[in-house]
Amino acid sequence: MSLFYAALAIAGTILTYNLMKNVYVKFYTPFMVPIVTSTVFIVLFLLLFHIPYETYMSGGEWIVHLLGPAVVALAYPLYKQIDTIKKYGVSIVTGVFVGTFIGIVSGIGLALLFDVEPLTLLSLVPKSVTSPVAMDIALVIGGNPTLAAVFVMVAGVLGAVLGPYLLKWMRINHFIARGIGFGTAAHGIGTSKALEMGEQEGAISSIAMTLSTIFASILSPLLVQLLL
């Protein structure tokens, strides 16, 4: 029976995502990003029919396991843009480092400003890197890995939804800046949005996501020690 529920969860998730993807294409707006609408629909469905989260995750966890290969697949557009990456290498590394630093410091600053409890604050620090790494960083600095994963999801969704508006408002049109912004601030979800804008943006976002993970792993413990 558990195998049946697992298969049903996988099929339902894929069907929901494809349905929301079609809605996104028809009503093209960042607020209709498939990962957002799919998540909301699935959560409401589970709540409405009183389906335990554990039952859903008996199949959902298999989709989570595919995140690794999906991230690796991002290397293809990166490879195709290798000459561009070499040309702007210094700018990319510098931009990602500064973005990662500001992302961590601003998170700590806002948490202190609003008097957030220490455990939540430490879980918030690695919010802009991919979930597995964020969870490990949170564990190292004394945060809650599960809570860190939630913050990562929120950061990614907000980046994908609000990022296009922010870039337009600030008149940022260069593909390097766009790619660095999405990859550094919104990890994999932001990278998928960057790919919609163009292959160059997607490639830069991919490398920004990777570099920000490395920088965050080094900076997070240091900044926590200095600022807290």
Query: 141-184: per-residue pLDDT in tens?
Result: 998 988 888 899 889 888 888 888 999 899 999 999 999 999 99
Give the start-to-end residue ranges of the domains of the chain. 2-61, 75-227
Would the pTM of this model clear 0.95, i.e. be above it? no
The answer to whether residues 126 and 148 touch, using CB atoms and an 8 Å cutoff, is yes
DSSP string spanning 108-167? HHHHHHTT--HHHHHHHTTTTS-HHHHHHHHHHHT--HHHHHHHHHHHHHHHHHHHHHHH
pLDDT band at 192 (very low <50, low <70, confident <90, very high): confident
List the one residue out of 136, 132, 156 whose CA is nearest residue 144. 136
Secondary structure (3-state) at 155 = helix
Q: Is 167 exposed, middle or buried (0-12, 13-18, 19+ CB in 10 A)?
A: middle
The answer to whether residues 9 and 57 touch, using CB atoms and an 8 Å cutoff, is yes
Per-residue pLDDT tens for 101-134? Answer: 999 998 888 888 888 898 999 999 998 888 888 8
Cα–Cα dist 104/220, whole Å: 7
Look at residue 2 and tell me whether its pLDDT is greater than 80.
Answer: no
Q: What is residue 1's predicted lDDT score, i.e. its pLDDT?
A: 57
